[in-house]
Chains A and B, each alone.
Chain A
Amino acid sequence: MLQFRRFLHHPYWRGLSWFGPVIGLGGLIFLLFLNRTNWLVVPITQQTPSNSPQFQVPHGKLIIGNLDGMFDSRLPDGTGVITIQAGASIRLFGWAASTSDATPIKQISVWVNDTMVGKETHFFERPDVASAYRRADFAMSGWETEVRLKGVTAGTYRLSVQAVATDGKTAILSQLRLVVMP
């Protein structure tokens, strides 16, 4: 013990007053060049809230989905129906998903009465749908389509949006009244 104290108090150590600044500051500067992650950097996985609203897939339904709305820059006419000039076009959007992995949705069809006027086969991401149903396979369920109403004469029609699965099964997502103005 005495020897250890003598060792500690050896005059040599007094000469090492440079030790603190050189090791301390030098060490920090060395760490600056190391490729270590700062503890404050937020990982991507932490950026998404984990408690979004949840829904359940209805029992026994193969296809679920919705017509969420339509892009339309005209003023609403207040009649509660889609009103459009003959020959014009409308853009519809929504989502559709198949509850069976084996038979995904392949197409969205838009019908005016019994005539198909448009179809869409490209789907985009709808993370809100996947999150709400806790179904990762619902992620690519978004769709958007432009329907040109060529040849649809003035009158009142039934506009239906239908989702078609790969096995040919279909489901109506929404039905609306369509008034085509002359």
Chain B
Amino acid sequence: MKPSPAGTTTAFHSGSAMDDQSQPITSADQPQRRSSLVMTLTWIYDRLDFVVGILLVAGISIAILAIPRAPIVVGAINFIDQSWLLDLVFKTRQGVWLGRDVAFTYGPIAQLLWGLSSRIHGLSLGSAFKYVEFLPFLYVVIADIALAFLLLRGHPAWKRAFYILALVVFWQYFDFRVSTALLLFAMSLYHFDKVLTPGNKTLWRSVLVALPLAASFLVSTDTGVYAVIGLGLVAGSQLICFRAERLALKKILQFAFLTGAFLAVWMFLIGALITRSSTRFWTISLANIENYRWSVAFPMVRMKAQFVSTFIVSGVIAILAWIWRDPGARSISRKPVFILSATAFSSLFLQSSIVRADWGHVAFGLSPAIALSAVILMGSEKRSRIPWWDDGPVFLALVMTALFTGPTPMLVPKTLAADIQRYRAPETHTCPSNTFYLDGACLSSRDFSQLNAVSNYIDSHSAPSDSVFIFPYENVYAVTAKRVAAGGVLQNYAAMGNVLIQHQIASLEAQKPPLAIYSADGLASGPVDGVPNLTRTPEIWLYLQAHYRTESQVRAGVLVLRRDDTRHNNWAMDSTELPINSVSRPIDLRHADEVTVSDHILWPADADLLKISLLLDYPLSWHLRKPWQLLVEVHRADGTEKIVPAIVPPGRLSEIWIYPWMEQQLKNYFSSSTAEWRLNGSRSPVTELRIKVKRMDWISVRPLNIRIDKLQAVKLSLRSTPSAGTDVSTY
């Protein structure tokens, strides 16, 4: 353990000059007959940061591990988020790894943490639900402790203890991506600070800084990007702060260059080791974040107050810190380089809050601003003659904590006591009434019947070595059926942009999963952010429709599809051009929210889909904000209309695919008989089409103009010989 810094505490008794640099008390000054109790308390006081850290590790362990071994009662399963999480966990057993075999927004380190946690008492559905967050949460606590030690060096141990306790229990969003990015930012600060001291080993230091930075891409691509930009911000801040000192500038530039070079080397090696191709891992990783801003943008509904107030409070703290900065301080948190780079890093991280502004992501993006402002609020490491006055900012942090938040529920002492009590109580090994047992978990009747029916079917109609393709995102079906979920992208909504779409289709072509599970929108699945799954990933839906036929409908809207390569040979897609009001001419959207694409459509008989080729231009600021929402309004001959939210990449010619009627009907298109494709429900002809743009929230950006290049009615069919003019696609 690290001894307390000189000039800080060595005694713990009322009236002593504890923490007082002006009156240090050495061991020689201690009374000879000090009681062992006082010595013990002094020892603990000097190591309060470690003590708090250990208590928090114990708290997390109790909160997650002290769960009875009996089957866990699971509420309604979230078929999007819990599906990918469970699938990742089970993929560790199947030897399928993120980054190497499957692309997703997370990386293999994240998968490993979840996978190992879930295996604590053997892998099952129940164990995954119980323990999946154990190692990730432990990782967060340990990273927060390390962060405190890096940024609050020179401060008394009790301040680090306060910081660690407050950060873990009250302030932070429990996510290892935030913790990793913050820790690497602090590490960059620490090493850039150290490099200016005489006799440091710049070369080795740069190697050691570059390695975890490159490895952070294995946690998730956004973590890596934040960490590398954090390094750049620290380097830039150092250059600004030492612009007048040539020797220091030379050292900073040398260190920055070496770190950059080693970072490139590590990144190359990681890419080559993981995929045996130096570029594939990085191409796919970057494609993961390239399309995020427009494809999963979400409005900030009710978190605006929290977002703005946190931003303002952090800004005020940063300004005050700048006024009271101390370039010669022992603590890095008082130095101008910290104040500059931390402010820039916190502002950058707000991008996560801005783009997908649901509650969780706003909290995620605000975490660095809170954590780094709180470092400033830990005050000075130097002790003045009025110690309690120095501690004023800490009290301010305490008051703000009391005013704005409470403890994270799992670490409240009462909850922990109840956890222990429950763990020690006699166990029952049956599921409560109205729930049903499945692989260590007690599920609701609806979830059980759904999962059981699908997994039984897969089990009896495919070999254990067969993979299963899941559309759109219910990977939990493959998990319960103990099969590998096929595809190169974990869930289809994540296959955004040409690189990932082609990667997904190429993987399906290579794996040729014999079965696919199709969950129909509105019956057994739902649109992601309101965008129907056909409209979100038309290429993948069309691929599925061209290669698979219905074998059975095992539950309402859940189809089991069988791969049928003869179907693809007969599959065809005929397109009929429809008239457009303003062909290939940019239409100004700065003052209009609506464009009539066509108001005199003669809908061809039996046409199935609408395809709109368009280009939507935005101001450059969309790269820092997010696009407005796009709505396609389909008017039908019977007077009804359908409004479909759609997504398009700004500034790129792209296509929107729309099914003009009820999305539920799309499941009919997997029948081997084309006569069934257009059965059930109304198919009133489309007469008019409008495109609307709608403000997503206060931070979204309005498009400049829209250009409609083509409007087509598309008919899908199965026939033996494709006719002339048929678009025989690559699907």
**Which residues of A are interface residues toward B (Cβ below 8 A)?**
8-9, 13-21, 23-25, 27-28, 31-43, 46, 49-56, 58-59, 66-76, 78-80, 93, 128-129, 132, 144, 174, 176
Contact = CB atoms under 8 A, between A and B. Distances in A.
A154 B272 CA distance: 65
A60 to B, nearest CB: 9
A15 B407 contact: no
Interface in B56-96: none
Interface string B396-417: 0010011011111101111000
B698 to A, nearest CB: 15
Among B166, B413, B520, B523, chain A packs the most CB atoms within 10 A around the CB of: B523
B552 A28 contact: no
Contact of B166 (A28, A34, A79): A28
B642 A28 contact: no
Contact of B389 (A8, A34, A93, A128): A8
Contact of B522 (A15, A38, A132): A132
B409 A80 contact: no
Contacts, number: 216
B302 interface: yes
A38 B162 contact: no
Contacts of B413: 32-33
Q: Pick from B156, B408, B553 the residue with the most CB of A within 10 Å.
A: B553
B391 A20 contact: yes
Q: Which 3 pairs between the two chains have the least Cβ-Cβ distance?
A: A36-B406, A80-B675, A20-B391
Contacts of B681: 66-67, 174
B17 A14 contact: yes
Given A28-B398, A66-B662, A80-B671, A71 B162 contact: no
Given A13-B388, A41-B409, A49-B530, A73 B299 contact: no
A49 B360 CA distance: 13
A53 B642 contact: yes
A53 B639 contact: no
A157 to B, nearest CB: 16
Nearest to B532: A53
Contact of B363 (A15, A39, A50): A39
Nearest to A50: B301
Given A15-B17, A17-B383, A54-B642, 12 more contacts: A8-B389, A13-B386, A32-B407, A40-B173, A40-B405, A51-B645, A72-B552, A73-B552, A76-B671, A76-B672, A79-B673, A174-B680
Interface residues of B, number: 93
B570 interface: no
Interface in B510-534: 520, 522-523, 526-527, 529-530, 532
A70 B680 CA distance: 12
Contact of A17 (B19, B360, B549, B672): B19
A50 B15 CA distance: 60
Given A14-B20, A24-B158, A32-B413, A55 B642 contact: yes
B16 interface: yes
A93 to B, nearest CB: 5
17 contacts: A13-B389, A17-B18, A20-B19, A24-B391, A28-B165, A32-B413, A38-B406, A49-B529, A53-B643, A66-B664, A68-B680, A69-B557, A72-B552, A73-B554, A78-B673, A80-B675, A93-B556
B588 interface: no
Contact of A37 (B406, B549, B640): B406
A66 B680 contact: yes
Nearest to A70: B553
A9 B173 CA distance: 41
B162 A56 contact: no
Given A32-B169, A68-B664, A73-B554, A20 B643 contact: no
B14 interface: yes
A38 B523 contact: no
B663 A53 contact: yes
Contact of A8 (B302, B386, B414): B386
B540 interface: no
B395 interface: yes
A130 to B, nearest CB: 11
Contacts of B359: 42-43, 46
B390 interface: yes
A80 B677 CA distance: 9
B555 interface: yes
B552 A14 contact: no
Given A21-B158, A39-B363, A53-B644, A69 B667 contact: yes
A14 B532 CA distance: 67
B529 A17 contact: no
Contact of B386 (A9, A24, A58): A9
A13 B641 CA distance: 75
A51 B299 contact: yes
B405 A53 contact: no
Contacts of B48: 21, 25
A58 B640 contact: yes
Nearest to A29: B165
B552 A75 contact: yes
Nearest to B378: A24
A25 B173 contact: no
Nearest to B165: A28
A75 B527 contact: no
Interface centre among A16, A21, A42, A76, by most chain B C-beta atoms within 10 angstroms, is A21
B385 A9 contact: yes
B387 interface: yes
A39 B641 CA distance: 41
A17 B20 contact: yes
B680 A38 contact: no
B553 A27 contact: no
Nearest to B675: A80
B550 interface: yes
B306 interface: yes
A23 B555 contact: no
A18 B18 contact: yes
A69 to B, nearest CB: 6
B391 A58 contact: no
Given A17-B16, A19-B388, A55-B640, A76 B673 contact: yes
Given A46-B358, A68-B556, A23 B395 contact: yes
A99 B239 CA distance: 68
A164 to B, nearest CB: 19
Contacts of A28: 162, 165-166, 169-170, 398, 401
Contacts of B161: 25
A78 B158 contact: no
